[in-house]
């Protein structure tokens, strides 16, 4: 068993309003170093809440989250900002690029915030742009590029500081099928070549079949998990079968 990069113990999240809503009801989960895991489950089952608690976007009600042996919730604001920039990379469905900046400026943003030297920034930019095949669009504005290209740029921004954990929420949700294939191949290379651990939420069984393991959330609890063997097609079928059993399959977002 490889080292654990992420450990989640008895994670609970309640949203308070007129009535208290329990979105996560005590989740235990571990992600190994260099593992690529997909999270699936019906709409409203708690997938985004789970990811947001791990990424520190959303504070857990109770439970412990450990990333690279550190509990991000024990850190003060400055330490946390640094921790997020150094240890985590984020990719979202709607890309979250800054529209007033060029592609290059978007990618360099995390390094600029960390006051990395200009020559080091350029070296990293060249490397990541080549890796992601976006050398030709670095000077463009975000409205001049396609959805698939936007997601490549967002991925470049997420991996330029070589995070230990890449978190992605429906990264292919706004992409056409060709771009879906491109983005998933990139995730595969990031996992294999850069050795980055990946935790990715998706409602798409085909996308999930790129992962080594799929965990299913239902009503705020971990319901099941399945592992990919040698055969990706068979894994895809098992994912589809589990989703059918779970209720709320492919098309329920
Ligand atoms: P999923 O990503 O699986 O579709 P979410 O994690 O977004 O589900 O949401 C889980 C449940 O928590 C849903 O019932 C949702 O309505 C509720 N929820 C999510 N965010 C909030 C919030 N900020 N306030 C209140 N309820 C929320
Ligand atoms: Mg969601």
CB 182 within 8 A of CB 167: no
CB 203 within 8 A of CB 170: yes
Going by the DSSP 8-state scheme, the letter that residue 215 receives in this structure is E
pLDDT, tens digit, 9 for 90 and up, residues 147-178: 999 999 999 999 999 999 999 999 999 999 99
Domains and CATH numbers, the chain: 4-97+165-246 (3.40.50.300)
Ligand nearest to the CA of residue 47, numbered in listed order: 1
| Pocket, ligand 1, Cβ cutoff 6 A | 15, 17, 21, 23, 41, 43-49
Assign residue 213 a region: left if phi > 0, alpha if psi is -120 to 50, beta otherwise? Answer: beta
| Rounded Cα gap, residues 85 and 244, in angstroms | 38
229 CA distance to ligand 1 middle (Å): 32
Report helix, strand and coil shares of the chain as percent, to nearest 5: 40, 25, 35
Q: Report, as an integer, the average pLDDT of 91-108.
A: 95
pLDDT at 215: 98
Query: Tokens 């690029």 sit at which residue?
Result: 97
Band of residue 253 on the pLDDT scale cut at 50, 70, 90: very low
- The length of the chain, given as a count of residues: 253
pLDDT at 63: 98
The answer for residues whose C-beta is within 8 angstroms of residue 3's C-beta and 6 or more apart is 32, 33
Minimum CA distance residue for ligand 1 atom 1: 44
Mutate to test the pocket of ligand 1, among 18, 48, 49 (most ligand atoms within 8 A of CB): 49
Going by the DSSP 8-state scheme, the letter that residue 170 receives in this structure is S
> Does the structure show a pLDDT above 80 at 71?
yes
Q: How many CB atoms lie within 10 A of CB 61?
A: 16
Q: Nearest CA to 190 among 157, 146, 232?
A: 157
Query: Tokens 């595969």 sit at which residue?
Result: 188
Q: Please state the atom number of ligand 1 nearest to the C-alpha of residue 52.
A: 6
229 CA distance to ligand 2 middle (Å): 27
Band of residue 114 on the pLDDT scale cut at 50, 70, 90: confident
pLDDT at 248: 56
With 0-12 / 13-18 / 19 or more C-beta atoms within 10 angstroms meaning exposed / middle / buried, residue 218 is: middle
23-38: b (≥16 Cβ within 10 Å) or e: bbeebebebbbbbbbb
């Amino acid at each position: 068993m490889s080292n654990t990069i992420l450990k989640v113990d008895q994670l609970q999240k309640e949203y308070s309003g007129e009535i208290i809503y329990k979105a996560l009801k005590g989740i235990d989960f571990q992600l190994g170093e260099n593992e690529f895991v997909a999270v699936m489950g019906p709409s409203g089952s708690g997938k985004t809440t789970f990811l947001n608690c791990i990424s520190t976007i959303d504070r857990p009600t109770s439970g412990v989250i450990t990333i690279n042996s550190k509990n991000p919730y024990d850190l003060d604001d400055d330490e946390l900002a640094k921790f997020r920039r150094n240890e985590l990379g984020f990719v979202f469905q709607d890309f979250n690029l800054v529209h007033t900046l060029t592609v290059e400026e978007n990618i360099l943003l995390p390094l600029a915030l960390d006051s990395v030297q200009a020559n080091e920034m350029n070296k990293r930019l060249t490397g990541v742009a080549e890796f992601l095949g976006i050398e030709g669009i670095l000077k463009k504005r975000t409205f001049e590029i396609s959805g698939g290209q936007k997601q490549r740029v967002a991925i470049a921004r997420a991996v330029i500081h070589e995070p230990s954990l890449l978190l992605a929420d429906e990264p292919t949700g706004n992409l056409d099928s060709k771009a879906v294939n491109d983005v998933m191949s990139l995730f595969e290379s990031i996992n294999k070549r850069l050795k980055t651990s990946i935790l990715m939420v998706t409602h798409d069984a085909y996308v999930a079949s790129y992962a080594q393991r799929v965990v299913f959330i239902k009503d705020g609890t971990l319901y099941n998990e399945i592992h990919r063997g040698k055969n990706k097609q068979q894994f895809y079928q098992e994912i589809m079968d589990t989703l059918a059993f779970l209720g709320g399959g492919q098309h329920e977002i």
